[in-house]
Amino acid sequence: MIICENSWAFLFLFRSDSVEPKNMKMNVRIIESRIPKKEAVERLKPKRRFLLNQKKAFRKIEFLYLPYFWVRLQTLFKGKRDELLIAIDAIDGTAVFPDENFIRFKELELSDPLPFLLQEERIKPLALDTAHDFSMQVGLRQKVPLETMGFLSIERVYYPFWIAYFSSPKGLTFTALDAVSGMRQGVKMKQVFIKALRILENSNAE
């Protein structure tokens, strides 16, 4: 759960009712959502068995696409070549290892998509650093290092999330859900969503 400052969290909660979007449309490559709205609400609503959660009221839920760089690296492990996929968000540079078993791509026209704040020149060293850390972990477990041979491809995509807003005696909060895996997003993604929501608010206010 991410606790937001009341001032701008309040704007996020009610921005659709108070600000007219610019509605600039672009054709982009997206990853399809697998979690429908109704299921997302059920997954994100507070569980009543906890006394603290009984004081939290669900306000609304919205859909958000975050910009990502889809980076593929050529690797060598025990003499065999393979690929390592790393997804790096283009707002804050947070890296994750996505599960391709659930990934489906398609082209879609989005209104006012979030910009790619980071460029490939910044993404490449982030990907190599992430691959190096992963290689160290593999080496410790397997006693054999995983070698990174180079880049195979770098692609720009948009990844889907659900964001639910809640009110409580302590103020407004929100929780994000991966719309592909159905996993709640934790502390690691906190700053990414905060920055993304601020960008949207500033863009709509112009």
Q: Which two tokens stand for residue 104?
A: 């489906």
- Enumerate residues 6+ apart whose C-beta is below 8 A from 144: 77, 78, 138
Could you report the per-residue pLDDT of 168-183, keeping only the tens digit for each? Answer: 777 888 889 999 999 9
Could you report the per-residue pLDDT of 113-171, keeping only the tens digit for each? Answer: 899 999 999 999 999 999 999 888 887 787 777 888 999 999 999 999 999 998 877 78
Q: Which two tokens stand for residue 32?
A: 């399809």
Which of the pair, 49 or 153, is modelled with greater confidence? Answer: 153
The whole-number pLDDT of residue 54 equals 58
- Enumerate residues 6+ apart whose C-beta is below 8 A from 136: none
Whether residue 19 is predicted with pLDDT greater than 50 in this model: the reply is no
Name the H helices within 83-189.
120-142
**Is residue 15 within 8 Å of 201, Cβ to Cβ?**
yes
